[in-house]
Structure 1
Amino acid sequence: MKNFHVSTTINGDDAEFICTPDETLLDVLRNRLGLTGAKEGCGTGDCGACSVTLNGRLVCSCLVLGAEAEGAEIETIEGMADGDDLHPLQRVFIDKAALQCGVCTPGILVAARSLLEKNPEPTDEEIRYWLAGNLCRCTGYDKIIKAVQIAAAEMRSV
């Protein structure tokens, strides 16, 4: 099997890695690059725990091959905070207890950020639709939806 040398941008920084043809982007992020925020919940793209953005598009990194990252721009949960300052979504999720075990939280935050970048004033229905690919077995979704609404309002007022 021939390995691939991949040059990409992750969270605004240039990155390079070698991966096998069958290695997923999730495996590369976690095992080769030490970016462990994205979690493997299902490995089949059904839970959203491994959500990242790839060239501005929300994807399940367990369904993308590492080699497909060549020349791409990837954003992960690790790139969400600005230094020591949490992203408004992260801060509100903590303040409003919109998380529990934390397995799904990084994927939900990445998905919510992606939504708010496209639609800074979403309705409850739009938030629910956008987050439908992210499964949470601990909190239910009411606190999550409310946290996204609050963060969206804060972000609009800045």
Structure 2
Amino acid sequence: MKKIVKVYDLKKNSTRSMPEEKLSPGMVLANVEGVGKVWVDSAQIAQPSFKHDMLPTRLLPYVIDIMKMLEEVHPQTFEEWIDGFRCDMHPEREIKIWLPIGNTMGMYPALATAQKRELFQLLLMHTMGMDVDGLVNLTPEQASDALKAYNVFSKMFFAKQL
């Protein structure tokens, strides 16, 4: 049975329904005020102003790693990743959040696209302290194992200086 999800268009301020497997790779789950939990195109989300003129050069290899590891589920150019981290108050800390997401995703190369998207959303929501309701494409065991792996990777990255 196909899971139908709600997609919100930020430009048109409208919602539509579609099968989850038809979501494009740039779609992310968001809690939109007045609308609720919906999928939105990450390209439509406004970026806050830059807090840093540049990222430290020592962080650039990590940004490349993140970009490559998440290419299938969160495709962005190198410049988009850099700009996103430049908007963060503490870019190194944010990179230390994204690296374990990428490493965990890398443990599951055989998953189908819908499963990878759901896994990415699970990990992303986990980093924000939120639960994902009603997993459809992942088993509870897969989700639990992935969260355990994320937590191990997270401890590893937060324990070291990038």
- TM-score (normalised: structure 1): 0.40
Question: Relative contact order (alpha carbons < 8 A, sep ≥ 6): 1 or 2 greater?
Answer: 1
Higher helix share: 2
- TM-score (normalised: structure 2): 0.40
